[in-house]
Amino acid sequence: MDRRDFVFATTTAALAAAHVSRLPSLVSRIPRVGLQLYTVRNLMQKDMAGTLSAVAKIGYQEVEFAGFFDKTPADIRAMLETNGLAAPSGHVPFEAIDTGWDQVIEAAHTLGHRYVCVAWIDAKYRPDLDGWKRVADKLNHAAEACSKSNLTFAFHNHSYEFVPLAGQLPYDVLLAATDPALVKLEMDLFWLTFGGQDPLAYFAKYPGRFPLVHVKDMVAKPRPDIAADSVMRDVGKGSIDWKRIFAQSAQAGIKHYFVEHDSPGDALASVKASYEYLRALEF
**What's the pLDDT score for residue 24?**
57
Residue 59 · residue 275 · CB < 8 Å: yes
Task: Inform me whether the pLDDT recorded for 253 exceeds 70.
Answer: yes
Kind plus residue range of the DSSP H or E element containing 186: strand 183-188
Q: Once rounded to an integer, what is the mean pLDDT over residues 12-30?
A: 59
Q: Once rounded to an integer, what is the mean pLDDT over residues 275-281?
A: 98
Q: Which residue has the higher pLDDT, 30 or 24?
A: 30
Q: What is the pLDDT of residues 100-140, one digit of tens each?
A: 999 999 999 999 999 999 999 999 999 999 999 999 999 99
**What's the pLDDT score for residue 125?**
98
Task: Inform me whether the pLDDT recorded for 168 exceeds 50.
Answer: yes
**What's the pLDDT score for residue 6?**
37
Give Cβ neighbours of residue 87 (< 8 Å, ≥ 6 apart): 62, 63, 64, 65, 76, 80, 111, 112, 113
Q: Once rounded to an integer, what is the mean pLDDT over residues 248-274?
A: 98
Q: Once rounded to an integer, what is the mean pLDDT over residues 46-63?
A: 98
Q: Once rounded to an integer, what is the mean pLDDT over residues 129-155?
A: 98
**What's the pLDDT score for residue 15?**
39
Task: Inform me whether the pLDDT recorded for 16 exceeds 80.
Answer: no
Between the alpha carbon of residue 178 and those of residues 2, 63, 137, 144, 231, the distances in Å are 73, 27, 7, 11, 32
Q: How confident is the model at residue 230 (pLDDT cuts 50, 70, 90)?
A: very high
- pLDDT above 90 as % of the chain: 89
**What's the pLDDT score for residue 5?**
46
Closest Cα partner for 233 from 220, 252, 250, 251? 220
Average pLDDT over the chain, rounded to an integer: 93
**What's the pLDDT score for residue 224?**
87
**What's the pLDDT score for residue 25?**
62
Residue 85, Cβ neighbours under 10 Å: how many? 19
Q: Once rounded to an integer, what is the mean pLDDT over residues 210-231?
A: 95
* C-alpha to C-alpha distance for 64 and 103, rounded to whole angstroms: 18
Task: Inform me whether the pLDDT recorded for 18 exceeds 70.
Answer: no
